Amino acid sequence: MKLFIDTNVILDVLADREPFTDESAAIFSLIEKDVIAGYIAAHTATTVFYLLHKELGLKRAKRALMDLLKLVKIVPVDHDRLLQALAMNWDDFEDAVQAACAAKVDADYLITRNREDFARADVTVRSPAELLALYKPTY
């Protein structure tokens, strides 16, 4: 199974954003155990680093990003993904790029806490809690 992870779920874990930390961390536990495969868009890595650097400092931000990159595969944000996202005509271009990247890897689920932002996505959208309900005995 392939999961495409939205930026907010990553930040829940790396920035310890309660009350979302545990559910989001459990998603990464499934990835770490090779129960599922995790994917993120290339621009997510830069966004996560930028935000963590501001909040945690350079050293901790680098360490957090290195740990993340050991777990997930990167989906390129290329010419075709950007054109696909523009053609979606969504109000939030960044969300459209995320959805286009999820579609590129044929993700089974796009995992986000902002489900309404992806209502028109071609990929099934689930919150961390909803995905974990499918894997309750595993994590």
Q: Please tell me the distance from the alpha carbon of residue 68 to that of residue 135, in angstroms, as a whole number.
A: 21
> What does the pLDDT profile of the chain (139 residues) look like in tens digits?
999 999 999 999 998 999 999 999 999 999 999 989 999 999 999 999 999 999 999 999 999 999 999 999 999 999 999 999 999 999 999 999 999 999 999 999 999 999 999 999 999 999 999 999 987 755 5
Domains of the chain: 2-134 (3.40.50.1010)
Q: Which residues pair with 36 in a beta bridge?
A: none
Q: Please tell me the distance from the alpha carbon of residue 53 to that of residue 75, in angstroms, as a whole number.
A: 22
Enclosing H/E stretch for 72 = strand 72-75
Say what the pTM is. Answer: 0.93
